[in-house]
Each structure stands twice: as structure tokens, then as C-alpha cells.
Structure 1
Amino acid sequence: MHFLPENIDQYAVDHSQQEPELLQQLNRETWQKVLNPRMLSGHYQGRILSLLSKIIRPKVILELGTYTGYSALCLLEGLHPEGEIHTIDQNEELYDLQRKYFDLSGAGARIHQHLGRADTILPSLNIKYDLVFMDADKRNYPKYLEMILPQMNSGGIILSDNVLWSGKVVEALDPDDQDTKALLEYNKTLATHPQLETVLLPIRDGLTLTRVK
């Protein structure tokens, strides 16, 4: 979703760092072989994730929603040399594609794939997180936040994708639209929670940057 005029959006892309060759390959393969390729973070947002990760230098990254592994590889670029990534996804069909590119990165041993529901996997991960990227099923964002928050290190960062939800967050709410309802609750919680400092960035479909006090 692009909220800026197309020519301005393209100018921003053209004047941002290019994605590495490995990510270009994954981008192409995703569009050629995988359903719903628009779920890919893509070049522009991927460079944002990469730069934020490099600024933070996290030792432990948690990602909810692996898809084909593009965003995990972007976050990997800033991972501490002794760090690790834990990424969770339910789609068994994408597991081998993810692993292929994780291993091609040269840091595959530091990227741990978890297959299944996040709400069942998260309690088994007894880990403190420095950086979390939230990009899974939107209706469970509030639940995931509740589960993750106690595991965040002070000063840790939570990045939340799709928080503008194609503009639906400012439209009349359909009572049957559980995803938008959950995002409205989630966005309000991030903005008002006493433990959090939050800025919602109107980047693509909305990316929230949240710091845990």
C-alpha cells in the first residue's frame, strides 16, 4: 500500500540504498514461485529494517511472520556478531525456501526457524529480546504484544508492520472485520502504554517504531 503519490514514492526508492544481490534473488524467486508475493517486505522497507537493525545492533531478534525470509535477512545485516534470530511462521511449504536463502547468507546457523502458531511457540522461547519485528496475523497483534512485552530488554525495539492496514484504520469499522478491530486496539495500546514510547511512521502500509522503557 502506497499513501504517497507514485512519483514521490518512486523518488524515495530511487534515492535509498539498493538491496544486496542475495535479496534481489529472493525477491525475484518470491514473485516467480510464491502466492501473495505482495506480502514481501521488499526493497524500500527492507532497507529501513536493515538500517534500524544496524543502529540497534541487537543480540537477539524475534520475528513473527517469516514468509520467504526476506525481512529476516534484512534484520540479519545489523545483528550482533554473537547474536541470533528466531523467526516464526505457520506455512510449512515455505520452510525450505527460507532455509535455502538463510544458508546462502553465510549466517544460517544463527537463524532459527520455528514452524507453527506463534502463541504456542512463544512460551517455549525463554529468551530476552532486543528487537522484535511483528508481521504475522493482524488479529493476534494484541495477544502477541502481551506475550512479548515481559521478554523485552529495557531499551528494546518493537517494529510493527501493516499498522495502517490499507487505510482501514481511519474508515468506518465493519463489525465483522476482526483484523482491523485488532489493529485499532493494538495501535492505541502502543500509543498509550506507560512502558512504551511509540512513533507510527506512514511508510508503505504503516510501520510503528516502539521503544520499551
Structure 2
Amino acid sequence: MQLKFSFPPHRNDSFENFVVDGNNEKAVLICNHFTGKNQDRPASLVITGPPGSGKTHLLTAMGKTASAQSGSTSLYLDGAALMEKVGGSKTYEELKTRLASFESASFLAIDRLEIIEGNKESEDQVFHLYNAVTQAGGKFTAALRTPPSKWGFADWLTTRLLWGHVVTLDPVGDDRKVEVLQKMASDLRLTIERREANWMLTHLDRDPKSQLKALNLIDQRSLTTGKKVSIPLIKKALEHTDAG
């Protein structure tokens, strides 16, 4: 059975719950309009931005919007997964079989595209996927950390990626970071009140990887003790770890 929506599980990402402020408002608006049916819009969109800015969230939100349209198939492919498919295929025919569903997607999103930089075989497949999807009338999207001036792709792939929209997604300001952290917790089915979230932002590392590690430890502690999240529980969950 062919998938119609293959985005990361256990996430409740949509445009409605994306935290917007003056830093990212324009980029979010472009992404929201991209999945519309206006034929005059470019067929591709590349999102660049640092970790934690919400690139995967927007890819998923666009995919959900696109999949709601009649007969549409929205598929997601991580850069690392693409390299595994390329490297794990013994023949070109086997690789084409593995990528066939992505070629025929109405909406294709490739996340963490920077991972494939310098890998000619993977870059070649992204080039082919771009052509296959857009020439069939579909939408191609990709997300990566670096702006075009710092891309390390082959020139022919860079040129193709620049054919459509390229938007920079900046992180929200400090006054909205609590909401972002609460959204991360919500994705883990974990409820953190504003007071506790503020404490975490003040006392712990703010990079997304460290925050996610801390949230998982807090979630485990909350489940084990049967207690709601509090500052004492957070401290206990993170003692003897490098999460902070």
C-alpha cells in the first residue's frame, strides 16, 4: 500500500501551532502560500535556518496542507535516509525502485539536505527527484541549515535549487522561546507550565539537541514518579547529567 503522508511521527506540527513573531513572520507566510493551487507560484521552495528555527515543523505543516488536497500524496525524506538508500542499493535499478514513490509524490520534502553535500550520487538523486516531481506538476521542498552562499553542492544542483523560492527562517525572539519549548514538550506528550519552561531557558543550554535530551529525562522522571513537572522534579531529573 502506497503511503500518502510519511512525515515524522509523534509530531503535531501545523501552521496553526507554529510560533510566529517578527523574526519569522514573512518566511512562514511564504511557506503557507506555497502549497496553494495557484499555478503561477514556483514549484520549489528551499528553507534555510539554524537548528531550532522550525524547519521540520514547516515542512510537516506544508505536507499536511498539501495532502488535504484531493488525490495528493505528501512524502518526507531525511537527508541521512536518502544517503542510506543510495549507499545501500547494489544496482541502479534497485535504487530507482526504492525512490519510485518519492518521484511520483505530489509534494516532496527533503529535510537536512546539507547532509548530502559532497556525495555526488545522492546529489544526483536529489536533482532527479526535483525534476521528476516538478515536471509532473508537483511541489518540491527542502530544508537545510546554511544559506545559498555557503552551500557545498555541485553547481548544477545549486542552480536547480535556486530556481524557486529560497527563504531564511530565523528563530523567534527570546520573548517567544518559552512557547517553542512548550511545543517541544507537547510533542513528547509532556506538559510543562510557563514557570518551569522559563526556569529551563534560564538555567539550561538552549540548543535544540540539549533541550530535547533534557525534556526526555524530565518526561522519564515524571512518568516514573507519577508527579507533574515542577522545578524540583526538573532538577532531580537532570542531576548527574550534562543536559544542563
Q: TM-score, length-normalised on structure 1? A: 0.27
When Rg is computed on C-alpha atoms for both structures, the one with the higher figure is 2
Q: 1 or 2 for the larger relative contact order (CA 8 Å, sep ≥6)?
A: 2
- Structure with the largest fraction of strand: 1
